[in-house]
Structure 1
Amino acid sequence: MKVLEASIEARQRDVQPVAEPGTGHVKTGQGTPRVDGRAKVTGGARYAAEHVAPDMLFGVVVCSGVARGRIRQLHLGEALAAPGVVEILWHGNRPRMRKLGLFYKDMTSPSGTPFKPLYDDRVLYSGQPIALVVARTFEEARYASSLVRADYEEEPHETNLLENLHRAREPRRMKAGFSAPPGPTGQADSAFAAAPVQVDMHFHHGVEHHNPLEMHASTVLFEPDGHMVVYDKTQSSINSRSAISRAFGIPARKLTVKNPFVGGAFGSGLRPQYQLYLAVMAALRLEQPVRVVLTRQQMFSFGHRPETWQHVQLAAERDGTLKAIIHECIHETSRFEDYVEVVVNWSGQLYKCDNVRLRYEVVSLDQYTPLDMRAPGAAHGVHALEVAMDELSYALKMDPLALRLKNYTDVDPAGGTPYSTKELRACYEQGARRFGWERRNPQPRSLQEGGELVGWGMATGQWDALQMLARVRAVLHPDGRLVLSSAASDIGTGSYTAFSQLGAEAMGLPMENVAFQLGDSTLPFAPVEGGSSHVATIGSAIVGVCERLQRKLWSIARVMPDSPFRDSARSDEVLLLHGEMRWKRADGQAEPAPAGALPLADLLAWWGRPIEESYFQLPNKLQQRKHVCATHSAVFCEVRVDEEFGTVRVTRVVSAVAAGRIVNETTARSQVMGGVVWGISQALHEETHTDHRLGRFMNHNLSEYHVAINADVQDIDVVFVPEDDRVVSRIGAKGVGEIGIVGVAAAISNAIYHATGRRVRSTPMTPDKVMAPGDGWEAGDAAVGIDPGTGRFRR
């Protein structure tokens, strides 16, 4: 028994990744291997569903079979009699939960009332959890869940966005972080009507689901004093702890949520998902450890990138000067929350134009509330704008890149606010040079190789550069180990590595001497990991706390016997490098050792006890409000199209990115490459289809929900354009997680047009659309609410 308990304890112990011995001293910008790599490839990294305890029970969710109505009766007898079943939770026997929707709000909630799992008999969407079967093993719970039957009082439902565009309305209230479209400037409609060159296009984007490798799971463990430790698939341990504390009225001091390792999330873990509430319910009722893991099919039962309809009108003078930009968007939300995205705002920022009108509306449907997915809003909004810009370039008989440079702006056209930094022009230049854009024949259908049509396309990308609030604690031990900690998250982006790298550089230590602790709600406050803000936020706090440590070390060096720094008047006269305190030269560099150097090992040994500091990072809001803070990219793409089968191969992508100072080139490049792969997937593969008669997603599995695989991904070249933005963050860095996907689908669409002469205006661009007659769009008119008689939008 003791051996078993020791094994369980070892498996539950959280791994704290540290760089391999011999990694040595590093500087930011270097391509440093991931410090968590060994733990992940050897199985040392434990994810939410991999923590064990004696007498653990397993829960499997039962989901509703209708889209709207009430549960008349649940037939549980057969399932309760199944082998291994301990309990079945439903709205009639669940533990007490608070009533007010306010208690279910989390740090990223949109306006409205959040969904409350198993709260009552109401069914709000198809796939809603209606029961939790708890058994001794997962297999027994899964089998018993198939025996649960439900009788419903069905109500009419509506899940079709395109048939309900006439119900579009402005969102009731905006969520935090959402910027409503600015008011119109100039006279966009009359300027459009008067312009000699016009483009008028409609776009439709289908539903996408996140589908990270790690499925959503929550494991609830009990400590001897009754304290609950919850391992959750989340992008914020603090957010998950707050959610269950408030919903169940449990004091936060009695809860710890951990997420030291997350197997991808892409936004699906921004909000606490329903398996967390159900696992806590079962653990409270049965007073035993419980694990709830959603099946792959159930991963389609919460949140998704919303279905979107867009209308873009561009007008220009014959020399390419933009005269009018009109961009309207309508997308879905749920009946109980108003989910919003920044879809149309980009059209008012990217290009210089005096007449701009933007409009954004939502339609309430019987679906779960949509959820932020990598580059929410921009992935669709910039796509529509950039395809329309490409269409305009052909109408003008002008190179697409030249058109963008013609209308380039260094300020926000709406208010004249300057960008904090904007190296987009350099992105255009370096990306075009790397791709060989100057060799492009402008004529569609002009290139063919081996029976395939070859096309080249390009697009611009933009994403917000964000910074949040965060606190970091630092402890420098007498043996020279630096331990940094914050309740941050690493969802596979390389946060462990980048944060350790920043601490190592700031303190002049080798990487193997630095450990960063994250993924624990008991650690100092950190925001939700999302919006490409983590490095700018946590990284700035790391530099801040290390500066405090440096000053404390300096003060100790001034009183240490025989220290060369006893006569130092100011802390900024010294710096830390290669494990030593050194004098700083007039040019800011360190004096070469051994001239006046003090080994940190000697200093710490003399002091003999840990040195601790903390730092609270506040965004520089005063400066940020005076600027537009954004990352930029230029995406160039080559496709090959088999016209007979309509298949498209993306054979080359060059993504030139300006994202501030790059902390770790290896992990940053990986992020951009991942974004490009997802852009390919968005452009050609991903869409969740709904049977509107049932109000249910039909291809809710990975055999029918297609994503890009190895065969779809060929040459991806990432170029980082030098940029240093001290307005966005004190370390000069911006985020790279989102910018990698923005513009990719548009570049592919534009390349398909160059190859075939057919414009595909909806995603995914499947073979049936690519093979469509004429300009490739007539067959898709009905899909975006276009009246075939008038060619106009039916509203």
Structure 2
Amino acid sequence: MTTITRAEPVTRTPYVGRAVDRIDGTAKATGQARFAAEHHYPGLAHAALVHSTVARGRITAIDASAARAVPGVIEVLTHENAPAMKPLGKGGPIDLSAMASGTNVDYLATDEVHWNGQPVAVVVAETPETARYAAGLVKVTYQELPSVVDFAAELPNAVPLKNSMIMEHNAEKGDAESALAAAPVSVDLTFTTPPLNHNAIEPHATTAVWDGDKLTVHEPSQCIAFLRKHLAKRFGVPEPDIRVLSPYVGGGFGGKGSVWPGTLLAVLAARATGRPVRLVLTREGVYRTVGGRTPSTQRVALGADEQGRLTALIHTSVARTSRIGGAPEPITSASRHLYAAPNILLRESGITLDLLSPTFMRAPGEAIGTFALESAVDELAWKLGMDPIELRLANLPERDPVGGQQLTRRTLRQAYTKGAELFGWRRRDPRAGAMRDGRLLVGMGVATAYHPAMILPASVTVRLHADGTVVVRCGMQEMGMGAATAQAQIAADELGVPLESVRVEYGDSDLPDGPMAGGSVQTASVAAGVIAACAKVKKEVLALARRVPGSPLRGHRLDDLHARDGGLHHAGGGQTYADILTAAGRDHVEAAIKSGMLGFVLRTLRDRRRYVKAATAVHFCEVRVDPDTMEVRVARWLSVFDAGRIVNAKTAASQMRGGVVMGIGLALSEQTLVDPRNGRIVNPSLSEYHVPVHADIPRIEVHDVGVPDPTMPLGVVGIGEVGITGVAAAVANAVRHATGKRVGDLPITLDKLL
């Protein structure tokens, strides 16, 4: 049996753990930061897309004459005249560049239409206004073909999904259905969640520039390395001849983790016209050409004895994919790990529709899966007449309930205890509808949050200069979460130098390949490389010191030394890096760490057999409900997180709050409406797709009981996505307490409570 040696209590280091301002904050606040659509080139042209209006069919004619006649129009590209891109081919666990594609469609290389909104033409003009106007003049005639676009109608045709090396969709332990039938107390509930779309503050935008056969692309990307590999394949250009620049990303949340048609068509238009081309999607264009979250239907059934001990846990789900790509979400993921039950059944099924591929959206699977699971646990508490916190605490597992792996940390009990005290849970009247604030109904709800932790390959170089400055280089992405700041803090501590002496270079494919900013993996993944590279730098510095006559470091091993005060020190003395490098006649030392995909896959498979590691949290929500209109307002929020070691307390708290805000949107307002007749999104704008605004969100109080994970670099497990998980359930459980009504269909709108 493998055991984990628990980390000793962490001594507060100079920078890791502090609340540090973002190093790019000034540039963003003063407008110096330039995003993808703010880079200007001589002769820059602008592109706009023409979208299909049918879900499936063939183009029988395109009349672009009126568009071409508009003054300032440079070109109209269609399947009749566009240069062909190379077929993508298949990806795999070692080469994920093909899997990074949003769809498998060869845009403008076929007369086939695969979804309502597919780009069928690109207009290039001297100004963006001209391009968009002319795009509206392109007339397309279609031969419509039968399509399947209604998720609810297709539920009977759902197909069971199979487990893969990358994703586990099914698990079975014992006989859960029989145990459910025999349980003294049980609940058996159905939940639905709607499709959702991305609404990052920066819409997708591409500026593409060809210089002969060399390509430069400015793109807000969550995975620069995969994007470059993808472009190299599609345009037949060697990777070194492509440069992707993405120093600033105005929000991603998964929507910028794949390659969508706007990016490829901007590059194609630039090659076809010989001009630099910029393509900025309208908000509607994002809905039409960038995937979102799958809808789902879920069943959660729980059986328990009279004391609340679970005897059966069943969680099944149906999600959708597309004929042109996309992967189903791991909706039952949290149910695999959160609660001890002797009998567990997890099953995931899929439906294939003629719609744009679904894609990653903050905590894919876990966000909507925890809504169903944690709502069902709450309903079981009602049926038992038991406090919902006590029910959860009575069923916390000692080991992974399905696989038996060791849990790297078990802190949910502390989180519930701390959160209940801070939130004032004892003041909660357990009766439904019994609490009032004047005429308003008051409800309190609680739910558990869960998101798995892992790392991806990350290549890093660290250069230490003789003047004591440090440069960290990694092609990672900064989406506003303070990624570069965190790595500067880590490097400063590892080398014992002031934070202001560390510069982090990122957002450029010419840098060593970084991991994608997704799955809450980037901080830990890059930290592993930074720590390893800093160790190599210190080792080389010590080797130089040993050759310097009179150095106080001669005769010492690296393990005896501490990096502090700009050098290496031991109990009897030390020497600065500047003195060592100057004496050795060196202006710098540099170390590189190169991490490959094969090693990552093998390490992941090994770790999966040994451990279950995750970020967790407990959300406490208080709502006010108008008894006449049934309007729901979130009045108070408190969350207690365990996200391992926190690198930057300020940016971490911001990430946690951001996840909660997005979860409140999931719970109360967000939904994409798809016309079941033709697959067209009917609310593709922020005027009709309702995200939370300032007035919808109370002060969000966040706390941390984080324990460093001994199996992760620096003990970090990631915080980007755990914050949204469990949020919708906490809101639904508070509404249940206030009104006595269980709403299992998101979002929780007035009509479902009246």
Distance 1:694 1:48 in 2: 33
The within-5 A match list for 1:65-214 is 65-99=53-87, 101-102=89-90, 106-107=96-97, 109=99, 114-171=104-161, 174=164, 177-182=166-171, 184-214=172-202
Shift of 1:671: 0.4
Tell me which of 590, 607, 619 is aligned to 1:612: 590
1:5 paired residue number? none
Distance 1:468 1:237 in 2: 14
2:720 paired residue number? 737
The answer to whether residue 682 in structure 2 is matched with residue 698 in structure 1 is: yes
* CA deviation vs aligned residue, 1:275-298 (integer Å, no higher than 9, x gap): 111011111111221111111101
Identity fraction in percent: 40
1:535 paired residue number? 523
Report SS of the residue matched to 1:102.
coil
Report SS of the residue matched to 2:527.
helix
Distance 2:660 2:309 in 1: 30
Shift of 1:345: 3.1
* CA deviation vs aligned residue, 1:199-236 (integer Å, no higher than 9, x gap): 0111110111111001101111244x652111112101
Shift of 1:110: 8.1
The answer to whether residue 578 in structure 2 is matched with residue 601 in structure 1 is: yes
Shift of 1:157: 2.0
* CA deviation vs aligned residue, 1:325-350 (integer Å, no higher than 9, x gap): 11110111112325211111322321
Report SS of the residue matched to 1:691.
coil
Distance 2:454 2:98 in 1: 15
Distance 1:466 1:623 in 2: 9
**Does the 8 Å CA contact 1:198/1:316 hold for their aligned counterparts?**
yes
Tell me which of 572, 595, 618 is aligned to 1:634: 618
Shift of the 488–110 alpha-carbon distance from structure 1 to 2, 3 Å rule, reads closer
**Does the 8 Å CA contact 2:102/2:260 hold for their aligned counterparts?**
no
Tell me which of 229, 242, 260 is aligned to 1:242: 229
TM-score, structure 2 normalization: 0.94
The answer to whether residue 730 in structure 2 is matched with residue 763 in structure 1 is: no
The within-5 A match list for 1:277-356 is 277-301=264-288, 302-337=290-325, 339-356=327-344
Equivalent residue letter for 1:204: T
TM-score, structure 1 normalization: 0.90
The answer to whether residue 353 in structure 2 is matched with residue 394 in structure 1 is: no
More deviation in 257-266 or 342-351? 342-351
Report SS of the residue matched to 1:156.
coil
Aligned pairs, how many?
Answer: 732
Distance 2:656 2:142 in 1: 47
2:650 paired residue number? 666
**Does the 8 Å CA contact 1:506/1:543 hold for their aligned counterparts?**
yes
Distance 1:651 1:557 in 2: 61
The answer to whether residue 445 in structure 2 is matched with residue 441 in structure 1 is: no
* CA deviation vs aligned residue, 1:155-194 (integer Å, no higher than 9, x gap): 22221111111110024785x6322222x21111111111
Tell me which of 714, 722, 725 is aligned to 2:698: 714
Shift of the 115–424 alpha-carbon distance from structure 1 to 2, 3 Å rule, reads farther
Shift of 1:261: 0.6
Tell me which of 15, 29, 35 is aligned to 2:23: 35
Distance 1:106 1:150 in 2: 35
**Does the 8 Å CA contact 1:636/1:654 hold for their aligned counterparts?**
yes
Shift of the 566–112 alpha-carbon distance from structure 1 to 2, 3 Å rule, reads closer
Shift of 1:722: 2.9
Shift of the 110–395 alpha-carbon distance from structure 1 to 2, 3 Å rule, reads farther
Distance 2:564 2:27 in 1: 29
Shift of 1:567: 3.0
1:577 paired residue number? 564
**Does the 8 Å CA contact 1:487/1:518 hold for their aligned counterparts?**
yes
Distance 1:671 1:496 in 2: 15
The answer to whether residue 448 in structure 2 is matched with residue 464 in structure 1 is: no
Shift of the 138–634 alpha-carbon distance from structure 1 to 2, 3 Å rule, reads same
* CA deviation vs aligned residue, 1:115-154 (integer Å, no higher than 9, x gap): 3222201111111111100001111111111111100101
The answer to whether residue 255 in structure 2 is matched with residue 255 in structure 1 is: no
**Does the 8 Å CA contact 1:107/1:528 hold for their aligned counterparts?**
no
* CA deviation vs aligned residue, 1:501-542 (integer Å, no higher than 9, x gap): 111111111111111111111211222110000111101110
| Uncovered stretches (5+) of structure 2, i.e. residues with no partner | 1-12
Shift of the 719–177 alpha-carbon distance from structure 1 to 2, 3 Å rule, reads farther
Report SS of the residue matched to 1:470.
coil
Tell me which of 676, 679, 701 is aligned to 2:663: 679
2:631 paired residue number? 647
Shift of the 524–100 alpha-carbon distance from structure 1 to 2, 3 Å rule, reads closer
Distance 2:614 2:705 in 1: 14
The alignment's C-alpha RMSD in Å is 1.8
Distance 2:485 2:103 in 1: 38
More deviation in 109-118 or 400-409? 109-118
Equivalent residue letter for 1:262: V
Shift of 1:744: 0.7
**Does the 8 Å CA contact 2:294/2:320 hold for their aligned counterparts?**
yes
**Does the 8 Å CA contact 1:635/1:747 hold for their aligned counterparts?**
yes
**Does the 8 Å CA contact 1:461/1:635 hold for their aligned counterparts?**
yes
The answer to whether residue 361 in structure 2 is matched with residue 373 in structure 1 is: yes
More deviation in 604-613 or 734-743? 604-613
* CA deviation vs aligned residue, 1:531-564 (integer Å, no higher than 9, x gap): 0001111011101100111111111122223321
Equivalent residue letter for 2:365: G
Report SS of the residue matched to 1:544.
helix
Shift of the 545–112 alpha-carbon distance from structure 1 to 2, 3 Å rule, reads closer
Report SS of the residue matched to 2:530.
helix
Equivalent residue letter for 2:244: V
Shift of 1:605: 3.0
**Does the 8 Å CA contact 1:268/1:371 hold for their aligned counterparts?**
yes
Distance 2:704 2:103 in 1: 42
Shift of 1:113: 6.9
Distance 1:305 1:507 in 2: 42
Equivalent residue letter for 2:308: G
Shift of the 70–526 alpha-carbon distance from structure 1 to 2, 3 Å rule, reads same
**Does the 8 Å CA contact 1:66/1:125 hold for their aligned counterparts?**
yes
The within-5 A match list for 1:12-27 is 26-27=14-15
1:264 paired residue number? 251
* CA deviation vs aligned residue, 1:560-603 (integer Å, no higher than 9, x gap): 233211232x11111211213211xxxxxxx4xxx523232322
Distance 2:161 2:607 in 1: 30
Distance 1:495 1:467 in 2: 15
Shift of the 492–139 alpha-carbon distance from structure 1 to 2, 3 Å rule, reads same
Distance 1:46 1:445 in 2: 52
2:483 paired residue number? 495
Distance 1:703 1:730 in 2: 43
1:11 paired residue number? none
Shift of 1:112: 11
Shift of 1:239: 1.0
**Does the 8 Å CA contact 2:309/2:395 hold for their aligned counterparts?**
yes
